[in-house]
Chain A
């Protein structure tokens, strides 16, 4: 039983519990969260790789990556710092497209990013139409502070599981906690089970 806070009355309309996970509130802004300076990688230096335990590693330059089939995706996103943003519109390449034809026995994926950020997800959480490498937001190129030129989009997990400035996916047999996962945050990060921190 939660403690009632004397004199506290909510100022916001109750959120739709089918769309807004517990402990979250809806914002119309797009707050920024990152642990260090924003990297600026020029597009002619940028590439994207599928590495690790795969039969044949893959690599795309920016031009090759942008020539892949892409999708418009409208999803709700949930940040562990409590904000949720509904109906965000992204343009990106499905991870299914990037992994198409790749043979692997891997069960886990490490996203690796410019600036040194990493985050881990089970492979099954980024396949089957659940994850994208996004290069556009609301019809515009993705801004650097939001992860441009490209970031992961794994909307069913807390948003730190969607690495900004993504440069590749490393497929591996074993799980390997990433940056926030080794700094107090939950290893899986399901917002609907409020898996914010270690032990949640």
Chain B
């Protein structure tokens, strides 16, 4: 039955850590090998579950950072100091460890190459993670879809995926940074929070009907999504994903 796989239960699967990479002082990418991983769409997330020896469990959701790539799955996690799960993931996990996860989850905040472009991605801090899956998917298929990423970070050393984005920037992918708190010497890019004027400058215009994806902390998403609507973008073309400081 065709619908069976689609409606099948998302069961907990064992995922083994194969690599842990520091992205910034507060953010790490953890790569997992997930035997039997069914694949995912760019923008989806997984639930992870940790179990203590006394049986105590904690579940959280994390966006998938990687483009579909067989049984390899990457999550990028920001350490929240008062969090329960993120400090474990960023500080404790190392290659060979196993955790439980299930997914992929979410069918709305996703970009499929068949949707085409132009695509406008706006990320605040670690809100870039599901957007990066879209950037990477586009690169992996050697797509020529026009995609622009506007990424707001506190400072240059807080930019997640900085080197990879520098490499990918060019041709039909445009990466624009906004550094809100500190800028390196000679910085000529945006040095303020994202606002309507900045979005208009980065484009594409509402007339081009871009697919817009906004992800970040709630105040970022509220301001940016509102600005897109004020600029004349169709609210139905603006997809948002929010996370709060309690996500940890």
**Residues of A in contact with B (beta carbons under 8 Å apart):** 2-12, 14, 23, 25, 27, 29, 31-39, 81-83, 115-116, 145, 179-180, 182-184, 196-200
Contact = CB atoms under 8 A, between A and B. Distances in A.
Nearest to B4: A199
Interface stretch (B173-181, B186-194, B238-246): B238-246
A4 B51 contact: yes
Given A9-B52, A82-B59, A199-B7, A183 B106 contact: yes
A39 B10 contact: no
23 contacts: A3-B51, A4-B52, A5-B98, A6-B92, A6-B97, A8-B52, A10-B84, A25-B84, A31-B243, A32-B221, A32-B242, A35-B241, A36-B225, A36-B236, A37-B229, A116-B236, A183-B108, A184-B105, A197-B105, A198-B6, A198-B9, A198-B10, A200-B10
B58 A10 contact: yes
A38 B238 CA distance: 11
B56 A2 contact: no
Interface of B: 6-10, 12, 14, 47, 49-53, 55-61, 84, 88, 92, 97-100, 105-109, 218, 221-222, 225-226, 228-229, 235-236, 238-247
Contacts of B108: 35, 179-180, 183
Nearest to A40: B226
Given A5-B99, A7-B88, A10-B52, A184 B240 contact: no
Contact of B10 (A14, A115, A199): A199
A35 B239 CA distance: 6
Given A3-B98, A36-B225, A200-B9, A10 B56 contact: yes
Given A37-B226, A183-B108, A32 B218 contact: yes
Given A36-B235, A199-B10, A7 B92 contact: yes
A38 B225 contact: yes
A186 B17 CA distance: 30
Q: Which 10 A-B pairs give the minimum distances between C-beta atoms? A: A199-B9, A183-B107, A31-B244, A37-B225, A10-B56, A2-B51, A5-B50, A27-B246, A184-B107, A11-B84
Given A2-B100, A8-B92, A25 B238 contact: no
Given A2-B49, A35-B109, A197 B10 contact: yes
Contacts of A197: 9-10, 105
Contacts of A37: 225-226, 228-229, 235, 238, 240
Given A3-B14, A8-B92, A198-B7, A31 B235 contact: no
B154 to A, nearest CB: 21
A179 B105 CA distance: 14
A9 B54 CA distance: 9
